[in-house]
Amino acid sequence: MTDIFEPEARSYIMSKIRKTDTKPEIVVRKYLFKNGFRFRIHVKQLIGNPDIVLKKYKTVIFVNGCFWHAHKGCKHNKPPKSNTNYWVPKIKGNVERDKNNKKTLAAQGWKVLTVWECELEGKSSDITLEKLINKLR
């Protein structure tokens, strides 16, 4: 299936996809801050550039988009219908890189937590965030 957009339009659409400060990331940060946790964001000195770093707890948190990081069993993780020759290896590469980054961080003594985009939707959001805080304490 070919792309329904012209290359210029597709480029514009893709440029609007945020890498940092996404809505799920902000939800997690606000909840942590409200509950007294202080943290740094996007620490470039750590491999994988974690979304949230809680140095006091020696913990990093990745807030992952279900599509971009291939969340297994998630409704948002659907293979793209167009340009699959590009997207399938791209997403597999993301998953592999995530796995390697987590191993490296764990080897350096960091506790690595992942929050998925779909876990922050609807009523399950409060449960997910409360579990996250329990893992930190």
This prediction has a pTM of 0.87
Q: Is residue 112 part of a domain?
A: yes
The per-residue pLDDT for 121 is 92
| pLDDT tens track for 85-133 | 888 999 999 999 999 999 999 999 999 999 999 999 988 899 999 999 9
- The domain tally of the chain equals 1
Question: Does some domain include residue 48?
Answer: yes
Structural domain boundaries enclosing 37: 20-136
Q: How confident is the model at residue 48 (pLDDT cuts 50, 70, 90)?
A: very high
What is the CATH classification number for the domain harbouring 26? 3.40.960.10
Pairing of strands 59-64, 111-116: parallel
Nearest CA among 71, 67, 95, 93 for reference residue 81: 67
How high is the mean pLDDT of the chain?
91
Instruction: Supply the pLDDT for residue 66.
Output: 94
Amino acid at 3: D
CB 53 within 8 A of CB 40: yes
- H or E stretch including 114? strand 111-116
